[in-house]
């Protein structure tokens, strides 16, 4: 069965070029010219395997579209936008995007990023780790990572992490008690890095903490070593 991609782009030319290139790669492609249509398609057909989302879409922008998708789905999302300002990049990642590509772009870059995202998804459940890892033994609800199942639970409740957040947590959990620098995490989680800008790691760590920490302002699971990187402090 072919992977399904949803392109959310208001430029007919860009949308058509992406569709042709992705269909040549064997993807099944759906299109939406605005965010509202994209949300209707996801509600009707379920989440695709990958989404490509522009930021400037009209009445509902791409940031809002991504946040709405993230309420219920962990689908990998690549932002494709003409907006190059660092603030826009960070805002898109904070909204829940996994990757960001600026226009104009080469189609080969998009397809390469999509293949990388799918490799991450396949690798997330294929790790040489215990079946379950207790990250926080709080008696009111232990925090448990299940790499093979691709899940994280707090007590009986499953937490909804994006693919990138899950990969980041798995990388930290593979080396408990060890400091991993931002550059190391970039290489391992983002394969070949992201614009050479290590701030992407900080953005995703902040998002991860809002989901797994009892108090994100006072993290006890994923801690920061100023100037060095991050460390996972799992219970013994």
Per the domain annotation, does 128 fall within a domain?
no
> Are the beta carbons of 178 and 231 closer than 8 angstroms?
yes
Domain of residue 83, residue span: 4-122
Residues in CB range of 171: below 8 A, 6 or more apart: 180, 185, 188, 189
Q: What is the CB neighbour count within 10 angstroms for residue 123? A: 14
At 193-217, the pLDDT tens digits run 444 467 788 989 999 999 999 999 9
Domain count, the chain: 2
pTM greater than 0.85 (yes/no): no
pLDDT > 90: what percent of the chain?
A: 49
The domain that contains 226 carries what CATH number? 1.10.10.10
DSSP states of 45-68 as a string? H---SEEEE-S--SSS-HHHHHHH
Measured CA to CA, the distance from residue 163 to residue 131 in angstroms comes to: 18
Say whether pLDDT at 174 is over 80.
yes
159 shares a domain with 82: no
Stretch among 99-108, 149-158, 167-176 having the lowest mean pLDDT: 99-108
């Amino acid at each position: 069965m072919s992977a399904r991609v949803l392109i959310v782009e208001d430029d007919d030319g860009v949308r058509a070029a992406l569709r042709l290139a992705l269909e040549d790669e064997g993807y099944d492609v759906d299109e939406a010219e605005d965010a509202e249509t994209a949300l209707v398609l996801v509600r009707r057909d379920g989440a695709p395997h990958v989404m490509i989302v522009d930021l400037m879409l009209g009445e509902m922008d791409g940031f809002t579209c991504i946040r709405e998708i993230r309420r219920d789905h962990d689908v990998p999302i690549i932002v494709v936008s003409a907006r190059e300002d660092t603030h826009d990049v960070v805002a898109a990642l904070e909204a829940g995007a996994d990757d960001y590509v600026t226009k104009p772009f080469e189609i080969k870059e998009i397809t390469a990023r999509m293949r990388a995202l799918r490799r991450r998804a396949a690798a997330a459940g294929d790790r040489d780790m215990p079946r379950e890892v207790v990250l926080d033994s709080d008696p009111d609800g232990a925090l448990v990572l299940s790499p093979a199942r691709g899940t994280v639970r707090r007590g009986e409740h499953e937490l909804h992490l994006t693919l990138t957040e899950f990969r980041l947590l798995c990388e930290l959990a593979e080396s408990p008690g060890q400091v991993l620098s931002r550059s190391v995490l970039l290489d391992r989680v983002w394969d070949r890095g992201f614009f050479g800008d290590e701030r992407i790691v900080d953005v995703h760590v902040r998002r991860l903490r809002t989901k797994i920490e009892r108090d994100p302002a006072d993290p006890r699971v994923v801690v920061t070593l100023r100037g060095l990187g991050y460390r996972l402090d799992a219970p013994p």
